[in-house]
């Protein structure tokens, strides 16, 4: 039987005992769960990465105005802005994460990795990683497999859904998936990969889910960009052996505990946080009126 992704310690022991890279047990798990062969898994991953790249491209080249008016071509604005606050690569990272997420908010095609709300983070981070370090597609697909293993463990011990664990569970998990992949791709050890995941969780811990008007737009779009930046910051620290001190499995426990203790108004109900601000409520009312206006007469009778 393949490794069950119960926790990070068992994943590490399995890889060390069998002298296999981190992505190998994820393939075995996928094969066993879905009955697919290895070649099909690589093909599926390739297709998923193609959709991620396409989302980045679409967000940077096509009109990204959402029906609510809250999303207004943010990715393109950042990409084309004349000022860089850090470096051109950082500007592109932020622009790409925004762009891919905006495609989701504008009802385009994305990969929910791990959720649609967090669908800009892996595209933004992986496309940028590949470009900066001149990596092969195969290396990025290995990162995606490792990301899948990370998500499996978080799902088992905490949650991946904003409605269950707040935004920390959604964008936080995506950022952790990205951070682990970045460190792996740059030659980090298993401990460094897992430390990057733990640091990322620490940085995202406590983030509430408070989407304005219940739409996955504000703050979701900007959080995808900031989560992408946190993934890179965590990877940079982990590669330099800055310890997160709390082991990654315990960070996941904390994620679950914080998620459980969150009030319902911070779990995608649009009753708290930014959704409950005067502006958030005003937008919610306007969106509702617009929706009623476009309903066919029979639906409002």
Q: Is 8 exposed, middle or buried (0-12, 13-18, 19+ CB in 10 A)?
A: buried
Tokens of 228: 């992408």
Contacts of 97 (CB under 8 A, 6+ apart): 120, 121, 123, 124, 125, 224, 225, 227, 228
3-state secondary structure of 72: strand
Nearer to ligand SF4, 124 or 211 (CB): 211
Q: Which of 220, 231, 235, 251 binds ligand SF4 (CB under 6 A)?
A: 220
Q: How many residues bind ligand SF4 (CB under 6 A)?
A: 14
Q: Fill in the per-residue mask, 265 to 284: x = in contact with ligand SF4 (CB under 6 A), - = not in contact.
A: ---x----------------
- Of the candidate spans 59-67, 196-204, 209-217, 279-287, the one that interacts with ligand SF4 by CB under 6 A turns out to be 209-217
Nearest distance from C-beta of residue 267 to ligand SF4, angstroms: 8
3-state secondary structure of 122: helix
- Of the candidate spans 7-15, 38-46, 217-225, 292-300, the one that interacts with ligand SF4 by CB under 6 A turns out to be 217-225
Q: Is 96 in the site for ligand SF4 (CB under 6 A)?
A: no
What is the spatial distance between Cα 227 and Cα 272, in angstroms, rounded to a whole number? 21
**∠ CA 90-91-92 to the nearest 5 degrees?**
90
Q: Is 114 in the site for ligand SF4 (CB under 6 A)?
A: no
Q: Is 162 in the site for ligand SF4 (CB under 6 A)?
A: yes
> Closest residue (Cβ) to ligand SF4?
162
Residue 5, sorted as left (phi over 0), alpha (psi -120 to 50) or beta, turns out to be: beta
Q: Is 167 in the site for ligand SF4 (CB under 6 A)?
A: yes
Nearer to ligand SF4, 22 or 213 (CB): 213
Contacts of 277 (CB under 8 A, 6+ apart): none
By CB under 6 A, name the binding residues for ligand SF4: 117-118, 162, 167, 170-171, 209-211, 216, 219-220, 223, 268
């Amino acid at each position: 039987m393949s490794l069950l992704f119960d926790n990070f310690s068992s994943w590490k022991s399995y890889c060390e005992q069998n002298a296999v890279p981190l992505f190998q047990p994820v393939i075995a798990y996928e094969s066993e769960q879905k009955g697919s062969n290895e070649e099909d898994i690589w093909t599926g991953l390739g297709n998923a990465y193609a959709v991620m790249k396409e989302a980045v491209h679409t967000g940077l080249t096509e009109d990204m105005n959402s029906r609510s008016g809250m999303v207004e071509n943010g990715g393109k604005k950042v990409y084309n802005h004349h000022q860089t606050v850090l470096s051109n690569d950082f500007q592109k990272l932020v622009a790409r994460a925004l762009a891919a997420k905006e495609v989701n908010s504008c009802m385009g095609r994305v990969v929910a990795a791990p959720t649609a709300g967090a669908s800009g983070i892996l595209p933004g981070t992986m496309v940028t990683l590949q470009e900066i370090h001149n990596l092969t597609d195969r290396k990025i697909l290995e990162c995606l497999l490792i990301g899948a293993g990370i998500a499996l463990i978080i799902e088992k011990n905490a949650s991946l859904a904003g409605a269950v664990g707040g935004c920390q569970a959604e964008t936080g998990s995506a950022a952790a998936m990205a951070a682990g992949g970045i460190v792996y791709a740059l030659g980090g050890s298993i401990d460094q990969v897992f430390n990057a995941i733990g640091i990322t969780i620490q940085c995202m811990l406590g983030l509430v889910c408070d989407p304005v008007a219940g739409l996955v737009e504000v703050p979701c779009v900007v959080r995808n960009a900031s989560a992408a930046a946190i993934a890179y910051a965590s990877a940079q620290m982990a590669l330099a052996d800055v310890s997160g001190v709390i082991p990654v499995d315990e960070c996941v426990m904390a994620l679950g505990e914080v998620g459980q203790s969150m009030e319902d108004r911070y779990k995608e109900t649009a009753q708290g946080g930014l959704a409950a601000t005067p502006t958030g409520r005003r937008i919610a009312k306007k969106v509702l009126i617009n929706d009623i206006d476009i309903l066919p007469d029979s639906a409002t009778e």
